[in-house]
Structure 1
Amino acid sequence: MLGIIRVLTTDDENILQEHSRVMKREFNIESISRCIPDQWNGIHSEATQRLAEPKIEALVKSMVENDGVTAVTISCAADPAVESSRKLVNVPVYGAGEVGAHAALMISRKVGVLGITPDVPPNIAKILGDHLLDYTWPEGVSTTVDLLEEDAKKRAIDACQNLVNKGATSILFACTGFSTIGLKMELAKHIHVPIIDLVEAQGIAYSLTRK
């Protein structure tokens, strides 16, 4: 059983369970999704990441001790509390950003990254190194909640098209909220380079280690 930690606080069960549905649909992975408290706009800055980290660590411990999960994935591109959580439990802990970035490097040497903040997540930039071609984000988007707006998907597609026009040979999502809105399926109708979805990348990582 995989434990999925969502860093966006939500009372909407449909949104909370979206990543678990992807795991079941794409990889037949059974999972439990939980979200941290009191972060209704998720993580979108250094300050909100610092605020989230102790909450994530507590939730990692709780899921291992009380839910019986055999691995935990922190479903956030910034990989908050991944390293510190690995010291707290004796099961694998994955970070969406790191597994996505490594997946991108396996298929491309000119990676275009799509996020929601003005700067590429440092963990992703470090892994990609010189293979990070460019980074962008949809116009008018600054938090994962903004992706739920009616035309946010179109703006994200336009941003990805710009990355491809600049020479990107793959697109890496740097926000798991793009999975929540089903961006990959729609984007694939418009561009013809590999697209790395962070939720799917987490599923691949777990599939490689589960017994």
Structure 2
Amino acid sequence: MNTYKIGVIRVLTTEDPELLNLHGRLLEQYYPMFQTVSRCIPDQWEGIHDDATMAAGVPKVVAMARQMYEEGFDAIIVSCAGDPGVAQARAEVPIPVIGGGESTATLARFYGGKVGTLGITADIPEAYPRILGDALIPEAGIGEGVRSALDLMTPAGREATMAAARHQQELGAQVLALSCTGMATIGIAPFIRDELGIPVLDPVLCEGAVTLFELLRRAQQPAPAQN
């Protein structure tokens, strides 16, 4: 089995190695052919959750992606459903750069029906309406009092998120596309699935699936002709 060196960019600054490496460990669990190295961008202690933190974070993601490419990584995952810096990094490096939001929205289309979201912002990340169109429930799913990934890690934040998931189903959601990778950090997807009885897409699982697909797709392309 081929193995791939995957750079995982975390957009929540942390000095906790367990938290830093959590998404990488999940990716290696889901995809045993991945060998991950996780790094967080600097000075984003509340992650990326609004226009100001997005503007500050994008150039940091691009710089880190460029460094990972220079170090010989096979692909880069920006583990954030807002996909900060993904498009810009793709213009900078020739290896796959995969974002959590694009991946989750794309795979949500597989199930058909109405798709609800569940995240940490009152605005749904850009990739979801762009990819899902009319299939997307336009009201963002967000737990009361939840404003950053840190809030998800509290009992109150978790319960508020469960309540928001139930409300998305009341609005007609037949699929839930989680719109914050912090949902993977707290491992909430299977609990929502078991309570609501509908598919719940974990962004970390989705970003890994799209990364593997793109690596395999590129491996099948013919080598450039030699002069």
What range is the shorter-chain TM-score in?
over 0.9
Q: Which residue of 2 aligns with 1:122?
A: 126
Q: Secondary structure at the match of 1:125?
A: helix
Give the letter for the 1:9 counterpart: T
Unmatched runs of 5 consecutive residues or more in structure 1: none
Runs of 4+ in 1 over 2 A off after TM superposition: none
1:20 aligns with 2:24: yes
Structure 1 segment 41-190 matched on structure 2, within 5 A: 41-66=46-71, 68-133=72-137, 134-190=139-195
Flag the structure with larger Rg.
2
Offset at 1:188? Answer: 2.3
- Residue by residue, what CA displacement relative to the aligned partner does 1:101-144 show, whole Å, maximum 9, x if unpaired? 00001112200111111111122221111010242101100111
CA distance in 1, matches of 2:118, 2:184: 12
Q: Which residue of 2 aligns with 1:7?
A: 11
Give the letter for the 1:193 counterpart: I
Give the letter for the 1:203 counterpart: G
The percent of aligned pairs where both chains have the same amino acid is 37
- Residue by residue, what CA displacement relative to the aligned partner does 1:15-57 show, whole Å, maximum 9, x if unpaired? 1111011111112122111100000000011111010011101
Q: What TM-score does the superposition give when structure 2 sets the normalisation length?
A: 0.89
Offset at 1:186? Answer: 2.1
Offset at 1:191? Answer: 1.3
Give the letter for the 1:19 counterpart: H
Cα RMSD after superposing both structures: 1.1
Unmatched runs of 5 consecutive residues or more in structure 2: 217-227
Q: Secondary structure at the match of 2:195?
A: coil
Count, aligned residues: 210
Offset at 1:156? Answer: 1.0
CA distance in 1, matches of 2:214, 2:121: 32
Q: What TM-score does the superposition give when structure 1 sets the normalisation length?
A: 0.96
CA distance in 2, matches of 1:8, 1:35: 6
Q: Secondary structure at the match of 2:196?
A: coil
- Residue by residue, what CA displacement relative to the aligned partner does 1:173-200 show, whole Å, maximum 9, x if unpaired? 0000000011112222211110111100
CA distance in 1, matches of 2:124, 2:143: 13
Contact 2:121 2:140 in 1 (8 A): no
Offset at 1:4? Answer: 0.8
Q: Which moved more, 1:1-10 or 1:117-126?
A: 117-126
Give the letter for the 1:129 counterpart: G
CA distance in 2, matches of 1:97, 1:188: 19
CA distance in 1, matches of 2:176, 2:36: 26
